[in-house]
Structure 1
Amino acid sequence: MAYQSLRLEYLQIPPVSRAYTTACVLTTAAVLELITPFQLYFNPELIFKHFQIWRLITNFLFFGPVGFNFLFNMIFLYRYCRMLEEGSFRGRTADFVFMFLFGGFLMTLFGLFVSLVFLGQAFTIMLVYVWSRRNPYVRMNFFGLLNFQAPFLPWVLMGFSLLLGNSIIVDLLGIAVGHIYFFLEDVFPNQPGGIRILKTPSILKAIFDTPDEDPNYNPLPEERPGGFDWGEGQRLGG
């Protein structure tokens, strides 16, 4: 019975969030038993001179060994990826996949100039940034210590990362790419004379967008963004 309930809950996760989160967990499990991080990290020379193309993907899937940092990243990745897919990207799976591709491309491009070997955490910060800008009136609570509105969440996470002794370059990269996407998708097209620069390719729409929704689909409520008191929030006036 417990297995069936867990399986049902797993299948109710929207497809892109389910696929990406699962790939991250399986990659970490594989590192424990089958492979090493040296086979996964971002290395332009190995990618472009030795054609180890898989590194363009695997460097987004490994978040380090199982521990606090891994669990912290997985919880934030799962929650904000899912809330984006079930919120502003509801019924727009192709657009969501295109955001993944656009963000991944920019991070890879910037990764050529900074010394980062794994970009998964930066990708998570990008998702958090886009969600936070699209939900500006949600009030957040971080570890029961800080109260703020959603747009400050990426910066709070960066400060927390700094307190843990991590480099803030990863967080800054995620914030920068998230801001570029948000500006091109949500801000610039609504300016006088603005145009929509980011257009999802029709092939992605043909593959991912389906007209019928699953009547049993159970979305994660977008007004509960944090979880585990690491970013709990509620809408103003709620």
Structure 2
Amino acid sequence: MAYQTLQQEYLQIPVVTRAYTTACVLTTAAVQLEIITPFQLYFNPDLILRNYQVWRLITNFLFFGPVGFNFLFNMIFLYRYCRMLEEGSFRGRTADFVFMFLFGGLLMTIFGTFVSLVFLGQAFTIMLVYVWSRRNPNVRMNFFGLLNFQAPFLPWVLMGFSLLLGNSIIVDLLGIAVGHVYFFLEDVFPNQPGGGRWLKTPFILKMLFDNPEEDGNYNPLPEERPGGFPWGDGQQLGG
């Protein structure tokens, strides 16, 4: 019975969130079990171009380090904000969500080449957090019960927390930068005088992922959010 309940809960997770978080967990498990090593996963342009190890373009987004506090912290935020985006502003628009993944991953890969980053999963998580936070500006957040602030400050709070843990903020800044580029091109520029939509989801992605029966205009209120984690929890102002 417990297994069936767990399976049912798992299958209720939106498809993109389920696929990405599962891939991250399985990759980390494979490293922990010494089936593979991080040296087979990290981003290395020379190995990709000269040895055709193209899988590194994907695997560097799937490994968040050994199991520990940092891994769990990243997984919770990845799952939480990826799911909120997929069930919120991307509801019924799976192809557009996949396109955001591809666009963000491509930009991070290009930028990561110049800043010599070998794993980009954490930056990708920050990108998801940034896009969600900008699309929900009136949500009040509470971080570990210590800080109260509005949603757009969340990526910067996470960057400060990362700094306190002794991590480099380059990863967080990369995620914020890529998230801002996507948000600007998708949400800001098209609404400006003389602006237009530069990001258009390829038709093949719409054929593969979109269900025409779903209502792509559905956009739940910001407080309709999955999960019950107290990290980064919040409520809508005036609610």
TM bin (shorter chain): over 0.9
- Counterpart of 2:139 in structure 1 is 138
User: Per-residue CA shift, 1:88-130, capped at 9, x if unaligned?
Assistant: 0000000000000000000000011012110000000000000
Given the two structures, how large is their TM-score scaled by the length of structure 1?
A: 0.95
The alignment's TM-score, normalised by the length of structure 2, stands at 0.95
For 1:16 and 1:136, locate their aligned partners in 2 and report how far apart those are by CA, in whole Å.
24
1:28 and 2:28 matched: yes
Moved more, 102-111 or 204-213: 204-213
| Closer, same or farther: CA 225–231 of 1 in aligned 2, 3 Å | farther
Q: Name structure 2 gaps, 5 residues minimum.
A: none
- Kindly indicate whether the alpha-carbon contact (under 8 Å) linking 1:60 and 1:120 is maintained by their aligned counterparts in 2: yes
1:57 deviates by 0.1
Query: Counterpart in 1 of 2:180?
Result: 179
Using the aligned pairs only, state the percent identity.
Answer: 88
Residue 11 of structure 1: aligned partner: 11
Contact map agreement 1:138 1:223 (CA 8 A) in 2: no
Mapping 1:134-173, distance limit 5 Å = 134-173=135-174
Which residue of 2 is the match for residue 229 of structure 1? Answer: 230
Residue pairs, 1:53-132, within 5 angstroms: 53-132=54-133
Q: Distance in 1 between matches of 2:207 and 2:225?
A: 32
Q: Which stretches in structure 1 are left out of the alignment for 5+ residues? A: none
Q: Is the 8 A contact 1:73 1:124 kept in 2?
A: yes
Aligned residue pairs, count: 234
C-alpha displacement of 1:227: 4.2
RMSD: 1.7
Do the aligned partners of 2:140 and 2:237 also contact (CA within 8 Å) in 1?
yes
Query: In 1, are the aligned partners of 2:95 and 2:206 still within 8 Å (CA)?
Result: yes
Cα distance in 2 for partners of 1:94, 1:228 equals 28
State the Cα deviation string for residues 196-238 of structure 1 (Å, max 9, x = none). 0000000000000012349xxxx9x854478432101000111
**Could you say if the C-alpha distance between residues 115 and 51 of structure 1 is closer, same or farther in structure 2, counting changes exceeding 3 Å?**
same
Distance between the aligned counterparts of 1:212 and 1:87, measured in 2?
A: 17
Q: Distance in 1 between matches of 2:198 and 2:61?
A: 25
Distance in 2 between the 1:171 and 1:93 partners? 26
1:213 and 1:199 mapped to 2: Cα distance?
Answer: 19
User: Could you tell me how far 1:155 is from its partner in structure 2?
Assistant: 0.1
Task: Give the Cα separation in 1 of the matches to 2:7 and 2:95.
Answer: 25
Shift in alpha-carbon separation, 1:225–1:8, aligned structure 2, 3 A: closer
Question: Does structure 2 conserve the Cα–Cα contact (< 8 Å) formed by 1:94 and 1:205?
Answer: yes
What one-letter code is carried by the residue in structure 1 that aligns with 2:110?
Answer: L
Give SS of 1:176's match.
helix
CA distance in 2: counterparts of 1:176 and 1:226, whole angstroms: 27
In structure 1, the residue corresponding to 2:115 is in which secondary structure?
A: coil
Structure 1 contact 104–123 (Cα < 8 Å) conserved: yes
